[in-house]
């Protein structure tokens, strides 16, 4: 790939802007942009949930039950993932001082981002397309939230990206998906995608890895009930920092309008969405667009969609832009306008920062403000997901037309 001088300048600006944003985040100058940074207990709180789970495991205790008596981190939430990441990475990290481990984790995420950029360049093939595809990796506000709370969603996004890279390049990196559910069970949303691609060996390895790394722990510690209660309880609610459709649906139909049978209609919507996405995946074959559809589905049906979860769209946007052979001059063309709108709604910070200008005692939980603001606050990002779902479906249909016309 050859870079003209102007291309090198643009790439340098993007990288420097990325590093500036990360630096400002770590020095807490950007806290006012994000609920998780401004109102939660402190930096690294999600990271310390895994850190403390590993610490408890080394003491022979449950991963899923807090024990403040032996805690080393100043604050942390409950551990809620499959056991593997807690008793492996969590245990190793807990050997380090809490904030040394946390900042080391941030550095590792930056290394993962560099690797993802390298693979993106290999897929893009031309400098002009690569520069556009690099933007979702380098300028994406949910990634800053990810670093602030020390989440592991970007590791999940990276594993998924490597796997899709393997699909596109027919390489062994497809097996990165085997590790994805062990980091976060959210990755199971892609099972139908790989089933449509007839990746049966991959699915068998994934099932085997999940069973082998989880069953012995659950058998020994009798903790499966705790895992289920934390993750699978049917619940409808909304919080500042939640950006899934389920939260918006709860606000509109249950809290404000108080519609009868609202829960039932949500599950009808969920079933209809999954059935339609299955139909689209198996009817119209496109490896990138169908992948995007399933990632979008997660944000429509999952109950606890936080802002950091949106890092899952970083590889989605990069791959869609590469597939469209997008350049900066084409982003607002008729062909890519819907994708560009989706990107802006998802990549930019939420409306939380606007509180700074009209709320006397900023920061305040957005849920306590005017209902109109609350609904708008919860609507914008999920509207971006809806726009991306529509764009991806249209891409599927267009790919099908091209195939059948040959």
pLDDT tens readout for residues 120-132:
999 998 999 999 9
pLDDT band at 116 (very low <50, low <70, confident <90, very high): very high
Q: What percent of the chain has pLDDT over 70?
A: 98
Calculate the average pLDDT of the chain: 93
Show me where the domains of the chain are located. 5-405
DSSP for 262-285, please give it.
HHHHHHHHHHHHHHHHHHHHHHS-
Query: Which residue is listed with tokens 């429509």?
Result: 300
pLDDT exceeds 80 at position 298: yes
Tokens 């097996």 -> residue: 175
pLDDT of the residue at 405: 56
Non-local CB neighbours of 215 within 8 Å, separated by 6+ positions: none
Q: With bands split at pLDDT 50, 70 and 90, how would you rate the model's confidence at 360?
A: confident
**Three-state DSSP state, 191:** helix
What are the structure tokens assigned to 268, written together? 């009808």
Q: Is 32 helix (H, G, I), strand (E, B) or coil?
A: helix
Length reported for the chain: 406
Give me 99's structure tokens: 């904030």
**What average pLDDT score do residues 135-145 get?**
97
pTM of the model as a whole: 0.96
Tell the residue number behind the tokens 């490896």, with chain if given.
287
Q: For residue 173, what is the DSSP state?
A: G
Query: What tokens were used for 102?
Result: 């946390």
The Cα–Cα gap between 76 and 56 comes to: 13
DSSP three-state, residue 391: helix
HSE (side-chain half, CA atoms, 13 Å) at 164? 32
Cα–Cα distance measured from residue 209 to residue 285, given in angstroms and rounded to the nearest whole number: 28
Q: State the pLDDT at residue 406.
A: 56
User: pLDDT at residue 401 above 70?
Assistant: no
Return the structure tokens found at 19: 């590093």
Least confident of 100-104, 219-223, 352-356: 352-356
pLDDT in tens, 55-102: 999 999 999 998 888 999 998 989 999 999 999 999 999 999 999 999
Alpha carbon distance, N-terminus to C-terminus of the chain: 31
pLDDT of residue 284: 87
d(CA 64, CA 67): 10
């Amino acid at each position: 790939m050859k870079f003209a001088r102007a291309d090198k300048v643009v790439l340098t600006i993007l990288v420097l802007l990325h590093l500036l944003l990360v630096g400002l985040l770590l020095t807490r100058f950007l806290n006012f942009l994000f609920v998780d940074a401004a109102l939660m207990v402190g930096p690294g709180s999600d990271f310390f949930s895994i850190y403390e789970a590993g610490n408890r495991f080394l003491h022979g205790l449950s991963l899923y039950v807090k024990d403040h008596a032996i805690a080393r981190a100043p604050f942390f939430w409950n551990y809620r993932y499959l056991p593997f990441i807690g008793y492996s990475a969590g245990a190793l990290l807990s050997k380090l001082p809490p904030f040394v481990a946390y900042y080391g984790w941030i550095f590792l995420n930056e290394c993962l981002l560099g690797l993802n950029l390298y693979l993106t360049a290999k897929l893009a093939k031309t400098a002009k397309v690569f520069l556009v595809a690099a933007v979702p990796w380098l300028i994406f506000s949910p990634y800053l939230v990810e670093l602030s709370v020390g989440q592991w969603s970007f590791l999940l996004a990276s594993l998924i990206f490597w796997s899709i890279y393997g699909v596109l390049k027919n390489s062994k990196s497809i097996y990165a998906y085997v590790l994805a559910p062990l980091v976060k069970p959210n990755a199971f949303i892609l099972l139908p995608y790989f089933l449509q691609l007839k990746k049966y060996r991959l699915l068998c390895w994934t099932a085997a890895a999940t069973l082998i790394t989880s069953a012995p722990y659950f058998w020994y510690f009798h903790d499966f009930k705790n895992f289920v209660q934390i993750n699978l309880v049917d619940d409808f609610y909304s919080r500042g920092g939640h950006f899934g459709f389920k939260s918006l649906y709860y606000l509109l139909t249950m809290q404000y309008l108080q519609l009868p049978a609202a829960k039932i209609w949500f599950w009808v919507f969920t079933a209809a969405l999954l059935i339609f996405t299955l139909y689209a995946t198996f009817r119209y074959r496109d490896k990138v667009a169908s992948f995007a559809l399933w990632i979008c589905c997660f944000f429509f049906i999952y109950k606890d969609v936080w802002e950091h979860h949106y890092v899952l769209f970083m590889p989605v946007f990069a791959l869609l832009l590469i597939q469209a052979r997008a350049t900066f001059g084409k982003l607002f063309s008729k062909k890519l306008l819907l994708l560009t709108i989706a990107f802006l709604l998802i990549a930019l910070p939420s409306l939380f920062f606007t509180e700074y200008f009209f709320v006397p005692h900023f920061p305040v939980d957005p849920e306590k403000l005017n209902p109109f603001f609350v609904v708008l606050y919860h609507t914008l990002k999920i509207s971006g997901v809806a726009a991306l779902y529509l764009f991806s479906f249209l891409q599927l249909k267009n790919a099908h037309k091209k195939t059948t016309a040959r």
